Amino acid sequence: MAIDLKAILIGQPTETMGALEDSKVKVIEVADCLQGIRGIIRHRPDFVLCRVELEGLNGLSMARILLMLKINIPLIMTAPEHKPAHEKIVENLPNVVGYWAEAGIYYDLKRFVEKFKRPSSNKRDKPQTPYSFKFIEHEWANLLEKSNKKRILLIEKDELTRKAILTKLNKIPGLQLFTCQDGLEGLLKALFIKPNLILTEIDIPEINGLALAQILYVLGKPIPLVFVTANEQKEVKRKATNIEGVVGFLHKSRLPRRGFLAMALAQYLQKSERLQSAIGESYEKARVDNLETEKDSII
Amino acid sequence: MAQKLILLVEAEPSIVNRVEDCLTSSDYDFFNAIDGAEGIRKVFEIYPDLIIVDLALPLMSGIQLVRTLNFLKLQVPVIFIGEHSEFTKNKVKLPHVKDTCVNHMISEELEAKVEAVLNDPRGFEDIKLELEPEEFLGFLSREDRKKILIASDGPTARNLFNQLDTLGYYELYIATDGREALFKAISIQPDLIIASTDLTILEGKKLAKLLYILGHSLPLIFMQLNQDPITQEQLSKLEGVVGFWSTGQALNERKFLFDEVQKAVSLNARMLKNLNNAYKEIDTMNLKAGMGSNDILDDPTLFQEFDDVDLD
C-alpha cells in the first residue's frame, strides 16, 4: 500500500523539489526556519529538509528548538558543501538523521524516501510519548478555576528565593501563581498555561532565560517576560532588552522593599497587555537572533 | 504564621454565625458559601486550608461536595458539621474528612478541632496532565483554528479525530474517558466538545454539570448510540448543550459530520460569549433555574459513582 508522505523544505535547491515530486511526496516549501518551525507544528510532516545556513534562525538552532519541544520529526540538514564544524554539531542532535551536500541530493533523497516508505520504518506507527505537565495542588486549583485573574509563571532555580518571591506574590490579590525550576519545564508549562507574564532569571538550568524568550517568540507565543536579575553583565542585559516580549528587569536587591513587587508587577502587567497586541502584528516580519551561542546551555 | 483560609459551606445563617463566633483568632481568614456548587467554585477561587461543610446542604449534599472535590483531585482537609441525626444516617467514610462536629457542640468543640486539623501536616501530591504529541502541536500552532475536543471511547474518538483531521482546519483533541474530557476541556477551552453520553468514569451528563458548576460552560454536542428522547430532554436543559447526534451517523456519514461540526462551531462563537456573560451573574437562584430544580444537582445518585473512581 502506498503511504502518503509529507515533507517540509526550508531553503532548498530545486533538485530537492524534483526528487520529492518524482517520489510522490507532498511538499510544502518555506523560505526560512522561522516559517519552518511554524509549518512543522502546523502540518506535522513526515520529514524535513533544511539548509544549515540561513538568514535569521539557522537550521541547527531550529533542530535544537524542536528537540526541546520534543518534536521528533526527522530532519535532514543540507549545505552547498560539507563543513566539519557542522558535522560535529549534527552528531549531538538526535533528531537530525542526515547531513548531505546539496550536489548529490537528488539520489540521496530518492534512496531516503524509498527506505522511509517501507512499512517497518514508518514513524507514524510508533507509539509516541505524551507530553506530561506536572502541577502542585494549588496550581491545579488555579487551572480549573474560572476567573479573570492574571496568571504569573515564576521560573527560579533556587528554592529559597523562589519561596521568598512567592510569599510576596501571594499577598497581591488577583493573581494565579505557577512555578517551576528550569527553563525547559518553564517553556512547556508556559506554552500550556499561557500566563500573562513570566518572571524568570536569566541564568536558569536547561534553557537559559534569553533562549526561552526567543523560543517563545519563534513559536509565535511571545508571552511578556520580566527578568529577575542579580549581577548580570551589561552585554547580557543589552541582548535581553533586544528580544521582543521582554518588558523589564527586576533587580533582586530591590525585592525586599515593601510594596515594591506589587507596584512593579502592576506596571509590567499593564505594559504586557499593550505589548501583546503589538507583538501580534510584528510577528510575521520577525527576525531572530542566532541561537547558536546558546548551544552549551541548550543541549 | 501565615494566615489560614477557612471556607465554610453552610446555608443556615444561625450556624454560620455560630461557627464565625468560635473562630475568632486573627490567624484565620473566613469565607462562606451557601450551597455545594458555590462551595466548589469558592474552593478553586480561594484555595482554602480547610473546608467546614454542612452534611445537609441544599441542592448538592456535603458528601457530594467532598466526593466532587476528591474527583477533581483536591485533597483539602474537611470537617463535617450537621445535626446528630444526619451523622447517624450518613455513615460514609470519605478521604480527607478529618473530623466531625455536631451543630450543638460547635461553640464548645469546633475551635479545638479546627486547630488540630490545621496543625496536622497534610499531604500534597503533584497532579499530572498529559497531552498526546499531536495535541500539543495543535496547542502550539497559532490560534486561528477552531478547537474541538472529542470525548468518546477510544475507537470512536479516534475515528472522528481522523475524519476531521483530513479537513486540516480544526485543532483536534481527544479524551477517552469523562475525567480526561473534563480536565482537557478546562485547560484547552475548546470551541466545541463532542461527547458520548456514556463516557466511562464520568458520564456525559455529569461532565456537562461539572463544567457548569466550575463555571466553564463550553458548547457541547452529545452523541448517543441509540437516540433516546427522555435523556435528550434532560440533557438539553443543561447549560452549553447545543445538539445531539447519533453516534452511527457521525461515524459513517462524512458529510453529516463535516456540516454539523461547521455549523456548531460558527454558531458557538456567539453563544460562548453569551454564556460567559451569563456566568458572571450566576448566583444560586440562577443555578437552580438553569438546571431544573428537581433534576440536576438534586439527584442523589449524581455523585455517588465518584466513589468508585480511582482517586490516585
Give how far A234 is from chain B: nearest CA, Å.
33
Q: Any bridge partners for residue B120, and if so which?
A: none
Percentage of chain B lying above the pLDDT 70 cut: 85
B137 contacts A44 by C-beta, under 8 angstroms:
yes
Q: How far apart are the first and last CA of chain B?
A: 31
Grid cell, residue A36, equals 519552518
For chains A and B, CB pairs below 8 A equal 89
Residue spans of beta strands (DSSP E) within chain A: 5-10, 25-30, 47-51, 75-79, 96-101, 131-135, 150-155, 175-180, 197-201, 225-229, 246-251
A146 vs chain B: nearest CA distance in angstroms? 6
Length of chain A, in residues: 299
Given a contact cutoff of 8 angstroms between Cβ atoms, the answer to whether B111 and B52 are in contact is no
**Residue B36: what are its φ and ψ, rounded to 5°?**
-60, -45
Sheet strands side by side (includes A175-180)? A175-180, A150-155, A197-201, A225-229, A246-251
Residues in chain B closer than 8 A to A71 (CB atoms): 133, 137
Contacts of A173 (CB under 8 A, 6+ apart): none
Closest CA to B120 of B98, B141, B142, B101: B98
pLDDT at B35 over 60: yes
pLDDT of residue B292: 37
Residues B213, B214, B217: CA angle, nearest 5 degrees: 80
Q: Is the pLDDT of residue B178 over 90?
A: yes
Q: Do the beta carbons of residue B303 and residue B68 sit within 8 Å?
A: yes
pLDDT digits (tens, 9 = 90+) for B129-152: 898 888 888 888 766 788 999 999
CA distance A40 to chain B (A): 9
Which of A133, A146, A167 faces B215 most closely, judged by CB atoms?
Answer: A146
B65 or A272, higher pLDDT: B65
Of B96 and B234, more confident: B96
**pLDDT, average across residues B116-132:** 90
pLDDT of residue B144: 75
Put simply, whether A295 touches B (Cβ < 8 Å) is no
Q: Rounded to an integer, what is the distance from CA B208 to the centroid of its chain?
A: 8
Query: What pLDDT was estimated at residue B28?
Result: 93
- Partner residues linked to A263 by β-bridges: none
pLDDT confidence of residue A63 = 93
User: What pLDDT sits at residue A68?
Assistant: 86
Position B294 pLDDT exceeds 60: no
* Nearest CB to B125; choose among A41, A133, A137: A137
Helices (H), strands (E): how many in chain B?
A: 13, 11
Among the residue ranges A10-19, B2-11, B194-203, the one predicted with the least confidence is A10-19
pLDDT at A222 (0 to 100): 76
Task: List beta partners, residue A152.
Answer: A177, A197
Place B108 in a pLDDT band, splitting at 50, 70 and 90. Answer: very high
How would you classify the pairing of strands A25-30 and A5-10? parallel
Closest residue to A132, CB basis, from B45, B130, B187: B130
What confidence score (pLDDT) does residue A287 get? 44
What is chain A's pLDDT, residue by residue, as a tens digit (299 residues)? 456 889 999 999 888 888 888 888 999 999 889 889 988 988 889 999 999 988 888 899 899 999 888 888 999 999 998 888 888 888 889 999 999 998 888 888 988 998 888 766 555 555 678 888 999 999 999 999 988 899 999 999 999 989 989 999 998 989 999 999 999 899 999 999 999 999 999 888 888 888 898 888 888 777 899 999 887 778 888 888 888 788 889 888 888 888 889 999 999 998 888 877 665 555 444 444 444 434 333 33
Q: Within an 8 Å CB–CB cutoff, is residue B169 touching chain A?
A: no
Shortest Cα–Cα distance, A32 to chain B (Å): 17
Tell me the chain A residues in contact with residue B2 when contact means C-beta distances shorter than 8 Å: 167
- How many whole angstroms separate alpha carbon B174 and alpha carbon B157? 7
Cα-based angle A98, A291, A253 (whole degrees, multiple of 5): 145
Question: Which amino acid appears at position B67 of this protein?
Answer: R
The whole-number average pLDDT for the span B196-203 is 91
Query: A residues 17-56 near B, CB within 8 Å?
Result: 38, 41-42, 44
Measured between CB atoms, does B122 come within 8 Å of chain A?
Answer: no
How would DSSP label each residue in A74-86?
-EEEEESS--HHH
Minimal C-alpha gap between B223 and chain A (Å): 25
Contacts of A134 in chain B (CB under 8 A): 126-128
> A224 is written with which cell numbers?
511578556
pLDDT tens string B227-241: 888 888 888 888 788
Residue B222 has a pLDDT of: 94
Cβ B186–A133 below 8 Å, yes or no?
Answer: no
Asked if the C-beta of B1 comes within 8 angstroms of chain A's C-beta atoms, the answer is no
Residues in B 123-162 with any Cβ partner in A closer than 8 A: 124-134, 136-137, 139-142
d(CA A246, CA A213) in angstroms, rounded, equals: 7
Cα A204 to chain centroid, rounded? 15
Q: Helix, strand, or coil here: B109? A: helix
Q: Check CB contact under 8 Å for A146 and B142.
A: no
Taking the C-alpha atoms of residue B150 and residue B190, their distance in angstroms, rounded to an integer, is 10
Structure confidence by residue, pLDDT tens digits, B255-285: 999 999 998 888 766 565 565 555 444 433 3
> Which of A44, A134, A137 comes nearest B137 by C-beta?
A44
The CA-atom distances, in angstroms, between B216 and each of A90, A134, A228, B276 are 46, 22, 34, 8
Question: Percent of chain B beyond pLDDT 90?
Answer: 49
